[in-house]
Amino acid sequence: MANEAEEPAEAGHATPEFAMELVPRLPGGRSIYPAEQQGRFVWLVAEGAMTQQCFDEMRGYLRYIVENKLWVQNWDGKAPPCLPDDTTE
């Protein structure tokens, strides 16, 4: 019996990949930023923006959603929207 991870993706749909990464800082004072590419979605989280416990729990929930095929990605080639900078003048 094949492992689900080894089974081919449904026709026309790539198996989504998900990750969360802590980074030293993000531009514009942002605390989180969705960095996506075709078939891969990575949440970049600025260190100190959330507790390690929150980071670990959120990553666990999102991994569960992706691994159980509850996450669907529809790639239209558009970049995610730019949010206004969080900096004050």
Residues 23-74 have pLDDT tens digits of: 999 988 899 998 876 667 889 999 999 999 999 999 999 889 888 888 777 6
pTM: 0.63
**Residue 44 domain flag:** yes
By residue range, what is the domain housing residue 26? 15-67
Task: Measure the CA–CA gap between 24 and 11, rounded to whole angstroms.
Answer: 39
Beta bridge partners of 18: 41
**Residue 63 domain flag:** yes
Task: Measure the CA–CA gap between 34 and 78, rounded to whole angstroms.
Answer: 13
**Residue 45 domain flag:** yes
Tokens of 17: 């990949």
Total domains present in the chain: 1
**Residue 59 domain flag:** yes
List CB contacts of 40: < 8 A, sequence separation 6 or more. 16, 17, 18, 19
**Residue 4 domain flag:** no
pLDDT, residue 60, reads 93
